[in-house]
Structure 1
Amino acid sequence: MDQLKCCVIIPTYNNHKTLKKVLEGVLLYTQNVIVVNDGSTDTTSDILDKFSNIRTISLPHNIGKGYALRKGFELALELGFHFAITIDSDGQHFPDDIPVLIGNLSQETSKDVLYIGARNMGQKGVPKKSSFGNKFSNFWFWVETGIRLQDTQSGYRLYPILALKDIKFFTKKFEFEIEAIVKAAWNGIEVKNIPIKVTYDVTERVSHFRPFTDFSRISLLNTYLVILTLLYIFPRDLIRKIKKKELKDFSMKTF
């Protein structure tokens, strides 16, 4: 991880029952950890005070997961990191999948790649709303980018934050994770799935995803992204293909 300049970013909001275990698991693999406390009102601050070897960002009030991730990316870039693994603090992810993500990245010829941890949505215990939401998200991601993925909603990811730094993002809540991968793909960053483990059997797990409100926000974002795809991205990519073909034909005729 040090060689690849990769850190781990953990956004957290009122997950004090699982946060300590997640931190202890992550610290087995790296000391380069950034926690973004998104305005927690529980004992999160007390827990973080006991981990003097991690960097923390404390937001004065809860804004949203997307904003917390973006603040984490900003700090990571300031510290000289090029990549960031994001892991949720609710205990559903396994820190021992960190080497899996790093191992795959180290073998990539081009490091402009964004990994999304692919969950087994057919396993026992997966909530129906999660399974439906993932299928819905996968479909619209394909419409917007032409890329088919198994899982586009997992929060366990490896972001090429250096490659993403000049892309403008505007969402602040859960929908940021959709905006990020769509705009990454539009900018030539390869988006891939990597199989990971996941559990929904954590008794202390608290999810802050609000099905109606957050699903509506994601739907509005996808509407905007589809319109942008049809009016700008598809025509742009078509023109680029035509120019590339014309340049190739010209080169063959000339040389």
Structure 2
Amino acid sequence: MHETEMKYCVIIPAYNSERHIAAVLRDVLQYTNDIIVVNDGSTDRTLQAVETFMAVGVDVVSYPRNRGKGYAIGKGFDRALARGFTHAVTLDADGQHRAKDIVGLAEAADGDQDAIIIGSRRFDNPDMPQGNRFANRFSNFWFRIQTGISLPDTQTGFRLYPLHKMNRMRPLTRRYEAELELLVRSAWRDIKLIAKPINVYYPPSGERISHFRKGRDFLRISLLNTVLCIIAVIYGYPSMWLRRVWKYYVRR
């Protein structure tokens, strides 16, 4: 891609996030008004809370049935492309991400507009739940097997995507595993992945909101990793090798 002026928006997938979504939006609005909230079939007052921000430019995509985070991200990409944005930052609606880190992701993308910028959490944070540490180590291990690439944080939802690279690539899976799937498929397409440190707030255990279903979602992720390992052998690694050989000879 020829380097042009980057025009990014912020996509926030939201499901039953009425307790935090207003504070998240106020935080993000300090840095940009180009916000797309995807209401993923919430059954509480998330949609009503978001609609109070429409007067300041917040865009809303909403549908009645919960379809999962992967589906919501795909719908956000569709809206962002339709509105002419070149890049999209995704962040969570639970208040853990800090909007000030959007600036760092955007600056990193300015240096390589074809790359996915991955907000990498600090795992020395004493407030990080042990379950998060284990899940990330587990995910990082399989990502390295599937791509040959080491990343410090493959589970983070705080990322900046180049939309022209994602235009024909939507998550095939629909829930939490979709974010890992997107990284693996991007690596196979030789899209550069850049980790950028971010800060994350972890509320006390009694205040944390998680829609992760430990048994069912962990099983889905494990099944996805099995499938991706098989595809990596058949398609992923050969595809990466051919792309790199092609680039080498074209540049010569």
Could you say if the C-alpha distance between residues 13 and 145 of structure 1 is closer, same or farther in structure 2, counting changes exceeding 3 Å?
same
Is residue 160 of structure 1 aligned with residue 167 of structure 2?
A: no
- CA offsets per residue over residues 147-195 of structure 1, 9 Å max, x none? 1010000001101121111225311100110110111111121012100
1:34 aligns with 2:31: no
Q: Matches of 1:4 and 1:242 in 2, distance apart? A: 29
Distance 2:160 2:243 in 1: 29
Structure 1 residue aligned with 2:210: 207
Q: Percent identity?
A: 44
Shift of 1:86: 0.5
Question: SS state of the match for residue 95, structure 1?
Answer: coil
Where structure 1 has 5 or more consecutive residues not aligned to the other structure, the ranges are: none
Letter in 2 for 1:224: V
Change (3 A) 1:76 1:124: same
Answer with 1 or 2: which has the greater Rg: 1
Aligned positions of 1:59-138 closer than 5 A: 59-108=63-112, 111-138=113-140
The code of the aligned residue for 2:174 comes to K
- What is aligned with 1:56? 60
Give deviations 1:208-240, integer Å, cap 9, x for gaps: 111211111111111111101112222344456
Structure 2: gaps (5+ residues): none
Q: Is the 8 A contact 1:17 1:205 kept in 2?
A: no
**Change over 3 Å in CA distance of 1:103–1:50 after alignment to 2:** same
Q: 1:174 aligns with which of 173, 176, 198?
A: 176
Q: Does the C-alpha gap of structure 1 residues 181 and 239 become closer, same or farther in structure 2, counting only changes over 3 Å?
A: closer
Q: Does 1:217 align with 2:220?
A: yes
Amino acid paired to 2:232: T
CA RMSD of aligned residues (A): 2.0
Distance 2:240 2:43 in 1: 47
Do the aligned residues in 2 keep the contact of 1:84 with 1:160 (CA within 8 Å)? yes
TM-score by length of 2: 0.91
After TM superposition, the runs of 4+ consecutive aligned structure 1 residues lying more than 3 A away are 202-205, 235-245
Residues 41 and 230 of structure 1: is their aligned pair in 2 closer, same or farther, counting only changes over 3 Å?
same
Q: Secondary structure at the match of 2:124?
A: coil
Matched residue pairs, number?
Answer: 245
TM-score normalised by length of structure 1: 0.90
